[in-house]
């Protein structure tokens, strides 16, 4: 298996939800689970950040999901979007969402499902202006097909870059729940894990 890691970067004003991440560097979202077919996509996200920013996030997402003119990242219209907060703490949310998109080039989970099929495994993470995706793929030809379709279809104000195609890195959670940490401590903890501070010498 190979890990295909790529990032979609958003210009300010291109997406109302991503604007919140751009304006609030302490706001962070990571998928706990994400699944897709050619027809629909459903996912669980863990969102962390300052209390007041999360309250703004709640309001923006509720407004967006009720809008009839939402467009996916690759231009296909969103025809149905169900959203529910399953857990809420002062510094965290666990959010379930299910979405269907109409005709056109659809968002990344749909494109990946079309080219990979059964057994698709994905992760996604949002911080700042970056929306990073990780896919597990067993065929290098599929990487090119996914990249080309996503890159060709990205909406205005979005750009795509590839970080790596390599042996999979750790897909396991670190084994602790940091929802209740202040954003500054959580960022420091994530940085320590990323740079190997807790690894055995």
124 has pLDDT over 70:
yes
pLDDT score for 176: 45
50 CB-near residues (< 8 Å, 6+ apart): 24, 26, 27, 91, 183
pLDDT score for 31: 92
pLDDT average, residue stretch 93-106: 89
Would you say 48 and 178 are in contact if contact means Cβ atoms under 8 Å apart? yes
pLDDT digits (tens, 9 = 90+) for 76-97: 888 888 889 999 999 999 999 9
133: buried, middle or exposed (CB in 10 Å: 19+, 13-18, 0-12)?
buried
pLDDT digits (tens, 9 = 90+) for 14-66: 999 999 999 999 999 999 888 888 788 999 999 999 999 999 999 998 888 76
Whether the full predicted model's pTM is greater than 0.85, yes or no, is no
**Average pLDDT of the chain, as a whole number:** 84
199 has pLDDT over 60:
no
Distance CA 136, CA 119 (A): 9
pLDDT digits (tens, 9 = 90+) for 165-181: 888 875 654 444 545 55
Q: How confident is the model at residue 11 (pLDDT cuts 50, 70, 90)?
A: very high
Q: How confident is the model at residue 196 (pLDDT cuts 50, 70, 90)?
A: low
114: buried, middle or exposed (CB in 10 Å: 19+, 13-18, 0-12)?
middle
Would you say 42 and 122 are in contact if contact means Cβ atoms under 8 Å apart? no
116 CB-near residues (< 8 Å, 6+ apart): 135, 137, 142, 146
Distance CA 93, CA 131 (A): 18
């Amino acid at each position: 298996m190979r890990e295909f890691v790529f990032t979609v970067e958003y210009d300010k004003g291109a997406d109302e939800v991503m604007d919140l991440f751009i304006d609030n560097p302490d706001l962070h979202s990571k998928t706990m689970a994400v699944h897709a077919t050619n027809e629909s996509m459903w996912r669980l996200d863990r969102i962390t950040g300052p209390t007041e920013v999360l309250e703004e996030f709640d309001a923006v997402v509720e407004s967006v999901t009720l809008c009839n003119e939402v467009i996916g990242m690759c231009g296909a219209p969103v025809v149905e979007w169900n959203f529910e907060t399953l857990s809420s703490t002062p510094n965290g949310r666990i959010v379930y969402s299910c979405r269907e998109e109409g005709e056109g080039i659809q968002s990344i989970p749909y494109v990946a499902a079309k080219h990979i099929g059964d057994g698709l495994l994905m992760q996604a993470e949002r911080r700042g202006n970056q929306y990073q995706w990780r896919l597990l793929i067993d065929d290098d030809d599929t990487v090119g097909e996914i990249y080309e379709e996503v890159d060709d279809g990205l909406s205005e104000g979005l750009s795509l870059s590839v970080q790596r195609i390599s042996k999979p890195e750790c897909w396991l959670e670190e084994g602790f729940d940091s929802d209740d940490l202040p954003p500054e401590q959580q960022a420091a903890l994530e940085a320590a894990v990323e740079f190997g501070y807790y690894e055995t010498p």
